[in-house]
Amino acid sequence: MKLSCARVSTFAGGIANSGTIVVKSIAGIEVFGDLTFGGGIINSGTIVAKSVAGIHVFNVLTFGGGIINSGAISTAGRGILVGGATFLAPGVSSFSGDVVNTGKISAKTGISISKSTIAGAIVDSGTIKASHGIPIDSASEILSSKTAIDIAGPTFTGGILPAPANHDSRVLFLPIRTPTVP
């Protein structure tokens, strides 16, 4: 069984999992097709997803509250995915809050941001074991007043990848931007 919030004009209150979710479908927890979602997502339990992601947020106009994983996520795809799973799927227009991992993520990709704008930070003080640690595509931005990506956990594999000039838009990378100081 999965937890899902789909095609709702306004949802407030968030989603929390403290149990065990095992799915073969798209994601263990998913939010998509909503105009406004508030309250964030908290996972303190276990998510085992055989497909796209443990936690997946996409095609949302405004998402508030962030995503926190203090539990365990194991997936063949992405641990936490903000944005479309394919180059055709829409991202999140406005995401406010942090994406935080204090637990364990074991996945092909740890935390992935695709076609989305995040007003917050990506923080990992847990464990991420992945081929691709934290990829962020060139259509995404992380707008943070301090540190955009903070990795302080005991294990982090897969790195943070810069986007080459002629990269395939279906592959997720981290855009490197130099901030302008007024």
Higher per-residue confidence, 160 vs 101: 101
Local confidence band at 173 (pLDDT 50, 70, 90 cut-offs): very low
Output the pLDDT for position 100.
Answer: 97
d(CA 157, CA 127): 9
User: 178 lies in a domain?
Assistant: no
Task: Indicate the pLDDT class of residue 161, thresholds 50, 70 and 90.
Answer: low
Residue 81 resides in a domain: yes
Encoded tokens for 156: 């982090």
170 found inside a domain? no
Q: Which residues contact 90 (CB under 8 A, 6 or more apart)?
A: 58, 59, 83, 84, 115
As a whole number of angstroms, the longest Cα–Cα distance in the chain is 50
How many other CB atoms are found less than 10 A from the CB of residue 24? 9
177 occurs within a structural domain: no
What confidence category does residue 87 fall into, taking pLDDT thresholds of 50, 70 and 90? low
Confidence category of residue 106, pLDDT binned at 50, 70, 90: very high
Average pLDDT over residues 74-103: 89
Higher pLDDT, 103 or 50: 103
Q: List, in sequence order, every residue forming a beta bridge with 63; answer none if it has no partner.
A: 37, 95
Which pTM was predicted?
Answer: 0.86
Q: 150 in a domain, yes or no? A: no
For residue 53, what are the domain limits? 16-144
Number of domains making up the chain = 1
Model confidence at 15: pLDDT above 50: yes
